[in-house]
Amino acid sequence: MAATITTTPMGESLDALRLMAWLSQGYPVGAYAYSHGLEWAAETGDVRDEPSLTAWLADVCVHGALRNDLILAAHAHRVAGSDSPDAIVAINDLALALAPSRELHLETSQQGRSFLDATLGAWPCETFSILAEQLPGPVAYPVAVGAAAGAHGMPLPPLLAAYGLAFVQNLVSAALRAAPVGQAAGTRVIAALTPRIVRLAEDAGDADLDAIGSATFRLDLGSFRHETQYSRIFRS
């Protein structure tokens, strides 16, 4: 069942508010519990100040998880607007398989499952319910978000841009707790990375699944080492 796209000013406002709610740090997905390897990077001194945090996050965005997440969310969004809801299974399987460590797999699957369940409860939608029936187990977070937005007929470009911004904001929030970086510096980091997020969102909207790939080897190895890190406050 294809989703109906809203085009009225009221519909656009509702879409914007939904995005703000879904991607807020207050949405019940437990995003605050994950640092995506940043806690380990702070422990080793890779992230120690504003410039190093900016560089680290830029690599995560362009060469790591964010670019892949945006591509996956775009494909989940398209499936939600099609007549083949079962196609979401292959996209979700790929998204889960891309997680290079146990902690990063937990990060995406726990948030995805929580997002799907919370959104079904608060924003019921027939199309989304049909998609959810195809995903009874672990769900990758970008797949859940993309599917929800597509099922509700929300346009893709603002979804991808908002997802990218929320991703960076959550990691900056983690940096404020794990690294010697203050709120003013964190705000500057977000501002510096925003144009990069816009470009990534634009590119990801048209990318096929063959474009997925990453090259953040130190982060991936760090995610394994974080599992046995002596002092830690995050789950990844």
- What is the distance between the alpha carbons of residues 32 and 38, in angstroms, rounded to a whole number? 12
- What is the distance between the alpha carbons of residues 191 and 197, in angstroms, rounded to a whole number? 10
Distance in angstroms between the alpha carbons of the first and the last residue of the chain? 37
The reported pLDDT for the residue numbered 227 is 86
Question: Domain for residue 62, yes or no?
Answer: yes
Question: Domain for residue 2, yes or no?
Answer: no
The domain that holds 195 is classified in CATH as 1.10.4190.10
Residue-number span of the structural domain to which 133 is assigned = 31-226
Token digits for 15? 């879409």
Question: Domain for residue 40, yes or no?
Answer: yes
Question: Domain for residue 234, yes or no?
Answer: no
Question: Domain for residue 122, yes or no?
Answer: yes
Question: Domain for residue 19, yes or no?
Answer: no
Q: Does this model's pTM top 0.85?
A: yes
Spans of the chain, pLDDT less than 50: 1-6
Per the structure, the count of domains in the chain is: 1
Token digits for 61? 């965005």
The reported pLDDT for the residue numbered 235 is 77
Beta-carbon contacts of residue 83 (< 8 Å; ≥ 6 apart): 1, 2
The reported pLDDT for the residue numbered 9 is 67
Question: Domain for residue 48, yes or no?
Answer: yes
Question: Domain for residue 14, yes or no?
Answer: no
Taking residue 192's Cβ as centre, other Cβ atoms within 10 Å add up to 16
HEC readout, 26-49: CCCCCHHHCCCCHHHHHHHCCCCC
